[in-house]
Chains A and B, each alone.
Chain A
C-alpha cells in the first residue's frame, strides 16, 4: 500500500509530499530508458528460457535413473542453487578476470581478447553463462522429478508399439512433464525478469547501460536519484508486466496441454 501511496505523490522529505495523481505513471511509461531496460530484460529472459529449458530437460534425460550415481548427480547438479546470489556475481568476476580468472585467462590465452567490463557483447555472454550455470539446475531438478514420476509401463507400451526414442520423448515424456515444466518456466521467467544481484555485482549494469535491466534501473531511480514517486510507479508497472506475462504463459501452456491429464 505504501508503494501505491508513493506512486501518486511527489515526496520531498518526511512529511513533505504533494498529490500528483497519475503523473508519475505517465512519466514512467514515456521514459525511453525504461523502454530500453524493458527491451533488454525481455531479451535476457527470452534467452534464459530458450537455453535453460531445453538444456535442463536434456541433462535430466541423461542423468542416472537410480542407485548411488543418481544421488551423487543430484547433489552435484543442485550445488549452484545453494550459493547466495551476490556470491555468484563475485565468483564470476574472479572466474572471468583476464589476469587471474580461469575462464578469462583461458579465453585470452586462446588469442581472444576477453574483458566483460569493456565489451558489451562479452558482458552479455558472461551474464548468460553465469545465469545458465546458476539456474539450469532448477529446471534439471524439476524435469528429473517429472521424468521419474512417469510409470515404467508407458515406456514399455511405447516399445511394444514400436515407437522411436524421439517419439517416446515427444509423445510421452514431454506431455507427461507438462505440469512441472509449466512451473519451471514460470519460475525461471519471474526470477530472470527480476534479476538484480548477479548482474549488479558482475557488471553493475555496464559497460555503459548495456546490462542495465529493469531492476537495476529501478534501484538507480529509487536509491540513486531518490525519486521515490516515479520509482513506486515504476515498481507497480514492473509488477503488472510480470503478472501479465505469467498470465499469458500460463494460459498458453494450459491450452496447449488441454485434456492431457492422464
Chain B
C-alpha cells in the first residue's frame, strides 16, 4: 500500500494550518514529522486519519482518492500524546475494543489481545483498570489498542511526550522493534530531533504548515537544506555565527580565523553564516586542528548528565554542550574549541552551501 498526499492545504478562519504539502508514504516505511509546536504536524496527521478534510488537495491510497472518506471507514490506528484509554474498561477490554467493534470472534480476539499485550509487556496487567496503571503503562495500553487492529496506517502523535525520560527511552526501543515487525505505514510526529534520529526512517521537516525538507532522516540531519531546517533538527538549535572568507582565510566572527582546508577549501570569498551544533563545541580540544574561541559565560545549565554553557562570543549567543557536570563562574571568560571539519556553511539567505564530510550525530 502507498499513500500519496497531493497539494494538501488546510485553512481555518483564514488561518493557514497547512500549505501545499505533497508527500508519499510507502508500505513498511517509518516516517517522522518533525517540527516545533504549531508547525502543522497534528493537522497533517488528522488529515491522514480522515478526522479532518483538507481545504485543498487530495489523499490517494494506492492511487484511489480517499480524501472525503470518513474515519470510521478507514482502516487506521492512532496513538495520542494523552493516554487515551476507555476509563471503565479493563486493560484487556481496552485492547480488545476495536476488535469487538469490528465483530471478530472471541477466540481470535483473545489471541490477538494477548499477542499485543505481550509485545507491550502488559500481560500481567490485563485485569486491571487504566487508572490503576502508571503513565507509561497506560500509554503502552493505548499503543497496544492501536497495534491490535493490524492496520495499514499507524499514526502516532508525539506518543512519548508525556512520559518521563527513562520510560521514553524504554518505549523508543520497544517501538523500533514493533515498527520493524509490521508492514504498515508508520507516521510519527515529534518535536525532538534526538527522537527522530533514534527512530530513523524518513523525515519530513515542517514549519508553519509548510514542508521545508524531506528525505532519509540521517541525510536530512547531515545535510539540512536551510538554516531553518538545521535549527529545527538540532536541540539546542544550531549555533549560527556570521563569517566571511578572504582569499584562503575563513574569518569566524570577529576574532577567529581558520585556514580554508577540508570541506571548506573551495569556498569563494564572500560573506556567509557558519553553523555548528552545540555538541560539536568542546571545553577541551579533541584534535590538533581544533580552534579555540574565547567567550563570556552567560549561563551554565545542567540537564541530566550534560552541561549546557550559554556563552556570548562577540555579541553572538552560542551554546556549548558538554557531557558531564561542570561548575563555572558566570560572567567569566570561557575557552571552548571547535573542529572546523564540523562546520556547516550557509549563504546569507540561509541556504546550505557546505556540510561536514565526516559527520557524527
Contacts and interface: CB of A to CB of B under 8 A. Distances in A.
A24 to B, nearest CB: 47
A162 B131 contact: no
Interface string A103-127: 0000000000000000000000000
Instruction: Give the interface centre of A160, A163, A257, A260 by most chain B CB atoms within 10 Å.
Output: A160
A258 B129 contact: yes
Interface residues of A, number: 21
Nearest to B97: A161
A41 to B, nearest CB: 32
Nearest to A170: B88
A24 B360 CA distance: 89
A156 B82 CA distance: 12
Contact of B128 (A160, A171, A259): A259
B129 A260 contact: yes
A175 B88 CA distance: 6
A161 B84 CA distance: 12
Contact of A259 (B49, B97, B131): B131
Nearest to A176: B87
Contacts of A174: 88
A35 interface: no
Contacts of A175: 86-88
A172 interface: yes
Nearest to A156: B51
B51 to A, nearest CB: 5
B87 A262 contact: yes
A159 interface: yes
A171 B130 contact: no
Given A153-B84, A156-B51, A162 B72 contact: yes
Nearest to B71: A159
B83 interface: yes
A262 B131 contact: yes
A172 B131 CA distance: 13
B144 to A, nearest CB: 13
B87 A159 contact: no
B222 to A, nearest CB: 35
Interface in A166-183: 171-172, 174-176
Contacts of A172: 86-87
A154 B101 contact: no
B289 to A, nearest CB: 51
B88 A257 contact: yes
A237 to B, nearest CB: 37
Interface string B62-89: 0000000001100011101111111111
A260 B133 CA distance: 10
Contacts of B81: 153
Interface of A: prevailing SS: helix
B164 interface: no
B108 interface: no
Contact of A153 (B77, B82, B101, B128): B82
Contacts of B77: 160
Contacts of A176: 87
B71 A261 contact: no
Instruction: Give the interface centre of B49, B76, B80, B145 by most chain A CB atoms within 10 Å.
Output: B80
A163 B49 CA distance: 15
Given A259-B132, A262-B131, A171 B51 contact: no
A162 B98 contact: yes
B71 A160 contact: yes
Contacts of A29: none
Contact of A171 (B49, B88, B102): B88
Nearest to A178: B87
Instruction: Give the interface centre of B49, B72, B133, B145 by most chain A CB atoms within 10 Å.
Output: B72
B138 interface: yes
Interface in B32-85: 46, 49, 51, 71-72, 76-78, 80-85
A171 to B, nearest CB: 5
A34 to B, nearest CB: 40
14 contacts: A151-B80, A151-B84, A156-B80, A159-B71, A159-B72, A160-B51, A171-B89, A260-B131, A261-B131, A262-B83, A262-B85, A262-B87, A262-B129, A262-B131
Nearest 6 CB-CB pairings of A with B: A259-B129, A261-B131, A262-B130, A175-B88, A153-B80, A260-B87
